Amino acid sequence: MAVIHRTTMTPGKMELLASWLPAQPWYGGGDEGTAPQPVKAGGFRIDDPRGEVGIEFMAVTDAAGERPVTYHVPLTYRGAPLDGAEHALIGTSEHGVLGRRWIYDGTHDPVLVERLYALVRGEAEPQAQSESDKPDPSVTGWSAAPGRPGPVDVLEVCAGPDASDVLVRTPDGRLTLRVQRVLVPAPEQDPAGETPLGHVTADWTLPDGTKARGRYAVVRA
């Protein structure tokens, strides 16, 4: 069970994301010369069973453009660099309790990807974003078939204009975990002909204070 420490991080998460977001292909951007203005809008956590990696699925709203846009940024927090993931490093931060933390775009971190797929399959329990040992029942994972337990290997990550596709190898074959980057309120039912193999659905808060709900991730063949 991950412990949420009431302490500081220097630089803070929003400060790091403000520098990192403009380089992402799915970032809509603002007017020329206008820096991102990310504000936390929701999200959740999943525990790493080994207790080594912090895992957070964060929704952040940026108001730098003509209209606010909410982005989904999966994050991992590590006590040492992740080998071969220099390209996925968002930055480092000094944690008031844990010391230096290396913060990564979680789509490139095999621990987060494995736990995300476990959540889809109902084998991981989502946790509240800012409280220790508190499940978040508003976050739901759904799978069309039970599948077989086993390792999940990340083969490739491709970022597009509104999502990042993570190609993985599982005991049931190759699958794509589509991590939605631009969050859009969506109905619970999928359009005809577009039924996925699984998905994760959760809430976030709109700028006016109302709640929205939609897909954070979708599994496809």
Encoded amino acid at 123, one letter: E
How high is the pLDDT of residue 172? 84
How high is the pLDDT of residue 190? 61
Element holding 181 (H helix, E strand)? none
How high is the pLDDT of residue 3? 66
CA gap 36, 34 in Å, rounded? 7
How high is the pLDDT of residue 30? 66
The series of mean pLDDT values per 10 residues for the chain, 221 residues long, is 71 94 89 82 96 96 90 97 97 85 97 96 93 92 85 95 96 94 79 78 95 96 89
Residue spans per domain, the chain = 9-220
How far are the Cα atoms of 45, 121, 195, 216 from residue 145, in angstroms, in the given order?
24, 8, 13, 19
How high is the pLDDT of residue 29? 78
- Strand segments, DSSP code E, in the chain are 9-10, 38-45, 54-62, 69-78, 89-95, 99-105, 140-143, 153-159, 163-170, 173-180, 198-205, 211-220
Asked whether the whole model's pTM tops 0.85, one would answer yes
